[in-house]
Amino acid sequence: MSSASISRSAATLIGLSAILLWATLALATSATGAVPPFLLTALTFAIGGAVGLVAAMVRGVGLAALRQPWPVWLHGVGGLFGYHFFYFSALKLAPPAEAGLIAYLWPLLIVLMSAALPGERLRPAHVIGALMGLAGTILLLGARAGGFGFSPEYVPGYAAAALCAVIWSSYSVLARRFAKVPTEAVAGFCLATAALSVPCHLLFEPSIWPSGATEWLAIVALGIGPVGIAFYTWDIGMKRGDIRLLGVASYAAPVLSTLLLVATGFASASWALAGACALIVGGAGVATLLARR
């Protein structure tokens, strides 16, 4: 998991694997039954943190990777826990479609924020590609919800969703500033996120535990994959890879997620899905090919 000796292209490919894993979130989460969000966060991040600790032990790093100064912990725990706290708050305070759309501004923000990093150059093609991806996401989420209807009464939810987008994009881009911090430290961030989710669960939601082997297996799968390995590979991609390309490619996650739901019979194919695919794939092509030219 160490990113110190990985090339830029390899780190970008590793970062892309996180997007593929996040595409399985909807399907895996649907298999967890009625487990409430913060309890699900506590369980899956505990597993994800354990995955990182086991990998650190195997590599001989041990717990030394967790000995980091407080700015590193503020960045890591603030990013992981802060994102999920405000995301769940937004879903409770505003309609899911509108909240999800605002929260999914983070790929565009990553592309724009990357211009402030040393050695990075933001080209018009990157912005165009990110906007095409955003348009595809709007088309997809709008079709699911039957359209958007932003209302003043949901302003607190919209604000929470906007904070969610800012927190995750800031966490992602600032990872480059902490490039010397080993990726194994993410295990500590995951465990801290799990611990902070416990009081949130006790305060804000009922205790509904997984029922049966299927729901427990789904939680384990979430903890190992999209809530575990994905955060480690994303860390490598952000620290060593092409941040702008990864930002644009992140818009593929909701489309891939929907395609997976269609393939498993949980959703139906539609023209909106086809259009979203075209926009997002086209946006990634623009950001990749035209920016290089």
With pLDDT > 90 as the criterion, what percentage of the chain qualifies? 48
Between 255 and 37, the more confident residue is 37
CA distances from 37 to 11, 45, 92, 123, 127 (A): 31, 12, 11, 38, 33
pLDDT beyond 60 at 58? yes
* pLDDT for residue 143: 66
* pLDDT for residue 1: 46
* pLDDT for residue 267: 66
Summarize pLDDT for 104-154 with one digit per residue, the tens.
889 888 888 888 887 777 778 778 888 888 888 778 777 665 666 667 888
Nearest alpha-carbon partner for 31 in 271, 264, 232: 264
Of the pLDDT bands very low, low, confident and very high (cuts 50, 70, 90), residue 194 is: very high
Q: What is the 3-state secondary structure (H, E, C) of 141-201?
A: HHHHHCCCCCCHHHHHHHHHHHHHHHHHHHHHHHHHHHCCCCHHHHHHHHHHHHHHHHHHH
* Residue corresponding to tokens 């890591």: 76
pLDDT beyond 60 at 10? yes
